[in-house]
Chains A and B, each alone.
Chain A
Amino acid sequence: MEQEKPPIGWMSLRELAQRTGCPARTIRFYIARGLLPGPIKAGRDAKYGPEHERRIREIRRLQARGLTLAEIAFRLGEHSPSDTALSATLWWRIEVAPDLVVHLRHDMPPWRRHLIDHWLKQLQRLLQNPQEPSHKESNHEQV
């Protein structure tokens, strides 16, 4: 029986690895980490599409800029529809100033929380002493 031809642009894991220069094990690792979707067609003759190729190139580009896989997963996930839209979410309520409240998701990764905490402190300091130059500005002067 003649095999049905796969749509144009579909490729095997080996071909995807060849095209992107990304080793097959690394591609499997990305899929396991949620950075890439699984194959378009699973099973005996698993296939991957142009979207996989585009994403791998994007991941590599962001890595070269110094982002970690955790950060890249966060960034790439920003525009995808949330699969927890109907589930309840806990939020931290942080009062930055008497007239300013910020809500943070409770389950955000620690690296992101450290970063946001830092900038909230900067904001708080700036709101208390508007004349004081911010930490960021002083560092830019040093640079």
Chain B
Amino acid sequence: MSKSNTNGAVTFVPTLANTEQPLALSLQELLLTGRITPAGAKLHVRHTFRSAHDKPVEVVYAFMLPRDGALRRFRIVGKDFRVNSELKPVKEAVREYEQALEQGSLAGLARTYRDGLVNLNLGNLRPDETVVVWLELLAGVELHERGFRFRFPFTVAPAYHSQMRAVEVAPGVGEIELPEEFGDVLLPTWTQDAQKLHAVGFNLKVSLPGTNVEISSPSHAVRVRQGEKDRFEVSLAPERDVPNRDLVLDARSRESLQLVSGGPASNGKRYFAVNIPASVFGKVPEAARRIVFVLDRSGSMAGLPLEQAKRALLACLGALSEKDQFSIVAFDHQVECSTPNLVLADAKHREQAREFLGSIDSRGGTELAQGIQAAASILGDGGGDVLVITDGQVFGTEDILASVRKLGVRIHALGIGSASQDRFLAQLARESKGISRFLTPRERVSDATLELFAAVGRPVADQVRWQIVGPAEARIAPEPSSLIHAGSTVLVFVEVTGDDPAVLQVSWLSPEGAKQTEIPLNAGTVQDGEIIRLMQGARLINDLESRITVMPSIRETESEVSSKEEQKLFQSLKQLSQEYGLASRAMALVAVVQRTDDVPGQLPHTQVVPVGLPQDVEFGAYFRSNLYSFTAYSARLIRRRSSRAQAKYLCSALDLSTWDPMVYGFPVASEDDSDQSSDQSSEDVLFTLAGLLEPDGGMPARIIASSAGKPVTAKRVQLRGKKDAEGRWLATALALMCFLQHGHTLHSGQYRHHVQRLLDYLQNSPLTIADSRKQDLVARLSRGEVPTGDWEQLSRRWLQGEVIRADEFWARVNVSQP
């Protein structure tokens, strides 16, 4: 399982658990190619399989579909053959695959399970044979006002389910098994060290119209080459990479553009995708908000993700106005609230909220539905918004969506994780007319958080109505949201029959009154009708699948599903799959390669492809049993009346007298977990300052750092002496100068609202009116003039708890006087 290298250090070598023979990897390489546009992506994934076994193998590669993703087809290519897959009802596809394996033929089967998990099976791969499987799939993108973010999962995130079974089978190697309701899905084996696993790479074409388009990746080192017009070619800069995180690509342009793409498709109809940025609908209204923050504190958030989540939440607290009402819910398998009701965002409640956040560490499972339920009861009948901050690493997402649907609250999601669960979070937000963003744990959380938060609770358009004018027959599907939030872009799919000119007519209510716009559906020179049709199909399939909580039976003697309601849903799903030619939980892809020398009856050795544990996910959070927390976890669960089913399950599993670790709990994070942040960057300092703004727009008088010498984090600082008016004035001026010096003004930068509030405080302060020196400084700052000097350095000292003396402050200001 492990061996020593020449330096004596232990390195991981995958081995077979029973024989300790080195594991022969059957998946050698995975290469992602395709084209990404603001309407979605059409991708081709090349899987290179090669068997080093001395008998035929059946390779099972488990992967997660990207957001709004669906499989279209695959092709198996070998030395003397090339066979395309066919789309068939699941039971039929499985039967065909099994018969082929009995006959000794090479066969492929791609089958979708719950949560967007896919098992790609390749059976009867012969010794030393190399076979390539080209898989074609569709995927959506996360749309922003000025571009989009694309994510592709190169690994699967281990996730939580109350009845899952997790175990460390070899040092640094973990397995998860799901209960029977998930069907016969096989999950990959997770390895802490992904270096010895298959190679991953990508070569993608990215299109985004606009000027000064920038393509970047927070996850991988990329090489970007500009091609014709608005097209870019993006590839992995190093020769190879490892499967331990998603590929994340950002495409941003300087301006927000309304786009129409599409044209005729293979069925004779015309298909269009219309991207409409929120700015088309109007400006963000200033209105008091009612908001509950829901923070995921589960074991899987341990370390960097939780630290990032808390930083994001502190920034949101800083951006709340005095009229806003808020509360915080922290959940794992239990729920804790900062306040039982919404409270005004005044000084007292903000400080209480910061103290509450300071006490939050990672532990336990991820009972997301219960967290949202608690938030809904805090909001009560008065309505409002819920902002969930989570890694979204849960199985059984359809069950969560079903329970959340009943609550009828508007949910926004900020996802933090290096492996993709944005498919689920996008659905969660979309279904409740909210918006979502998904970040990697290592990127700056400030921009996305503040952008998202600025939009929450203040929609730019309500009661939006969509219709097509012109052709006799046309439809918009899926139905776009009737509520538009700032910072986002709405994507509308239109299907038109006939050649008559078509216009998309949009009407809505904004704070200024009723408005309307018309968008002619004329595609540009690129005719993408067929691709738009497929992307529309993928979205419709995803939306329908999110409502189905069961897996169809593949037993010959049983019907697919038992209840009439489920039968109806599966029938609709089958029809959608057939109409668009896309796989779903009802229809699978199968291909058989009959070779002249096939030997029937040989049993292939079934092997599941291992993947890397996602970067920044702690192995122990899932796989390293800690019996102390396990027993405590069980005891807590059992005491809770709301978890009777789980408690029953755990009670039946708790058999301590036989010393069997039947269910693993999540270890409580060590105290050192929160100290993983490295030295603070300038952005971190600004972020911390933003989080400390008082409701009146000023800063607190003094900061006392609880751990001298350690990097400043918002969690560690404590506030003292808020009644010291002079100290508050100085701290506020210092913070304002720090923001201005870093280019955040009244009109630009993500901290512009903070700058406005800091300046308002200084301008309205009686101390400014009484002191000409202060008046001069405030006047200069209001013009955007900052006295020269290292205000960040002084801010850092202040954040570390050092008292900044007035004479030192003014001496620095005066030195820089013109």
Contacts and interface: CB of A to CB of B under 8 A. Distances in A.
Interface of A: 13-14, 18, 21, 23-26, 28-29, 31-34, 38-39, 42-46, 63-71, 73, 107, 109-111, 114-116, 118-119, 135-136, 139-140, 142-143
B169 A111 contact: yes
Contact of A65 (B94, B607, B652): B652
Given A33-B17, A42-B602, A71-B662, 13 more contacts: A25-B184, A25-B186, A42-B601, A67-B165, A67-B660, A67-B662, A68-B165, A70-B175, A114-B624, A114-B626, A115-B627, A118-B628, A139-B632
B627 A69 contact: no
A28 B606 contact: yes
Given A66-B662, A70-B175, A109-B17, A29 B557 contact: no
B81 interface: no
Given A31-B606, A67-B662, A21 B170 contact: no
A114 B168 contact: yes
A43 B659 contact: no
A93 to B, nearest CB: 20
Given A25-B58, A65-B652, A39 B17 contact: no
Interface in B641-657: 649, 651-656
Given A31-B606, A46-B603, A70-B167, A111 B662 contact: no
B555 A18 contact: yes
A68 B166 contact: yes
A114 B360 CA distance: 27
B170 A66 contact: no
B175 A24 contact: no
Interface of B: 17-18, 20, 58, 60, 94, 98, 101-102, 121, 163, 165-171, 175, 177, 180, 184, 186, 554-557, 599-608, 624-628, 631-632, 634-635, 638-639, 649, 651-656, 659-663
B397 to A, nearest CB: 22
A68 B605 contact: no
B628 A29 contact: no
Contacts of B186: 25, 29
A39 B603 CA distance: 8
Top-7 shortest CB links A-B: A66-B653, A66-B662, A44-B601, A142-B635, A110-B168, A68-B167, A28-B606
A143 B170 contact: no
A66 B165 contact: yes
A31 B607 CA distance: 11
Contacts of B600: 44
B602 A143 contact: no
Contacts of A118: 627-628
Contact of B661 (A38, A115, A135): A115
A47 B638 CA distance: 46
10 contacts: A13-B98, A28-B58, A39-B603, A68-B167, A70-B169, A109-B17, A114-B624, A114-B627, A115-B661, A135-B631
B601 A109 contact: no
Contact of B659 (A67, A119, A139): A119
Given A18-B555, A21-B555, A111 B607 contact: no
A143 B634 contact: yes
B338 to A, nearest CB: 26
Contact of A71 (B58, B167, B554, B556): B167
Nearest to B650: A66
Nearest to B599: A44
B628 A135 contact: yes
A26 B608 CA distance: 11
Given A23-B184, A23-B554, A28 B662 contact: no
B656 A136 contact: yes
Q: Taking each of A13, A28, A110, A135, which has the highest tally of chain B beta carbons within 10 Å of its own beta carbon? A: A110
Contacts of A66: 163, 165, 649, 652-653, 662-663
Contacts of A14: 98, 102
Contacts of A73: 18
A25 B608 CA distance: 11
A65 B662 contact: yes
B681 to A, nearest CB: 38
A89 to B, nearest CB: 13
Contact of A68 (B177, B554, B631, B659): B177
B177 A63 contact: yes
Contacts of B608: 29
Nearest to B649: A66
Contacts of A111: 167-169, 625, 661
A115 B659 contact: yes
A48 B603 CA distance: 12
Contact of A32 (B94, B121, B606): B606
A109 B170 CA distance: 6
A63 B308 CA distance: 37
A142 B557 contact: no
Given A23-B184, A69-B177, A110 B171 contact: yes
Contacts of A42: 601-603
B435 to A, nearest CB: 39
A110 B602 contact: no
B331 to A, nearest CB: 21
B601 A45 contact: yes
B557 A26 contact: no
A26 B632 contact: no
A69 B142 CA distance: 38
Nearest to B169: A70
A65 to B, nearest CB: 6
B524 to A, nearest CB: 46
B793 to A, nearest CB: 48
Nearest to A22: B184
Contacts of A107: 20
B605 A32 contact: yes
Nearest to A110: B168
Contacts of B602: 42-43
B3 to A, nearest CB: 14
A26 B58 CA distance: 11
Nearest to B653: A66
A64 B171 CA distance: 26
A43 B602 CA distance: 5
A131 to B, nearest CB: 21
B661 A114 contact: yes
B603 A143 contact: no
Contacts of A38: 603
Contacts of A135: 628, 631
Contacts of B659: 115-116, 119
A110 B121 contact: no
Q: Taking each of B163, B554, B627, B655, which has the highest tally of chain A beta carbons within 10 Å of its own beta carbon? A: B627
Contacts of B101: 24
A32 B659 CA distance: 27
A32 to B, nearest CB: 4
A120 B167 CA distance: 20
Contacts of B94: 23
B177 A142 contact: no
Contacts of A44: 599-601
Q: Taking each of A39, A45, A64, which has the highest tally of chain B beta carbons within 10 Å of its own beta carbon? A: A64
A116 B658 CA distance: 11
Nearest to A26: B184
Contacts of A65: 652-653, 655, 662
A135 B555 CA distance: 46
B607 A142 contact: no
Nearest to B656: A136
A58 to B, nearest CB: 15
Nearest to B553: A21
B119 to A, nearest CB: 9
Nearest to A30: B606
A69 B175 contact: yes
A115 B652 CA distance: 19
Contacts of A46: 601, 603
Q: Taking each of A23, A34, A38, A66, which has the highest tally of chain B beta carbons within 10 Å of its own beta carbon? A: A66
Nearest to B664: A111
A38 B101 CA distance: 16
B131 to A, nearest CB: 18
